[in-house]
Amino acid sequence: MADLEQREQDEQRQQTEQSPALDSPLPGPTQTGRAVSIARLLHHECGLLLQLYKEKESFLSSYSPDGGRMVSPSPVPQEEASGEQRVEWLHAALRQCLGLLHSHLLLSTRGLLEGPDTTLEVTPEHQGTEEPDGAGGLFGLKVWTYRVLLELHHWADHAAETLHVFHTERGGAAVL
């Protein structure tokens, strides 16, 4: 798992060293161009959040997440998959990322509002594959949060790349 952490750190370094063109909007008012710009902005912001979180939580400098990806949509598209198929797969991954955040926020706020006479239902549209269970206490929650940030950063980067290819396949400008 040290390889996964190293890849994520390399991605962060590359992201901060990117040329300004990658963070700028693509020319033209196309829907795919806007999607690429949003994905790039999300990747940039996730990288900043991840960096700030690692600075705040010093134990993360020596922490290596165990296990694979928290988000793993299936089936993985083949190389010959169409642009639409790759975007559908990416959409499933992004919904799983949203499910991780959504589930956690619902569970957290439910705990604040539940009482002896009140029971709130937690039913996010799309369950993530992993949720914090509270068994690890504050440390477990911090590790879970870190892993979610790693997932968001990874999938935002993947979204920017996939959507850029899709954009150029649809006749958009191949700006890099």
Inter-helix orientation angle 137-169/83-113, to 10°: 150
Q: What are the residue ranges spanned by the domains of the chain?
A: 2-169
Q: Does the predicted TM-score (pTM) go above 0.75?
A: no
How many whole angstroms separate alpha carbon 102 and alpha carbon 123?
Answer: 9
- For residues 67 and 13, the model is more confident at 67
pLDDT tens per residue across span 81-127: 888 888 999 999 999 988 888 877 776 776 667 677 776 665 554 45
Q: Tell me the per-residue pLDDT of 60-89, one tens digit each, with 9 for 90 and over.
A: 877 777 778 888 888 777 778 888 888 999
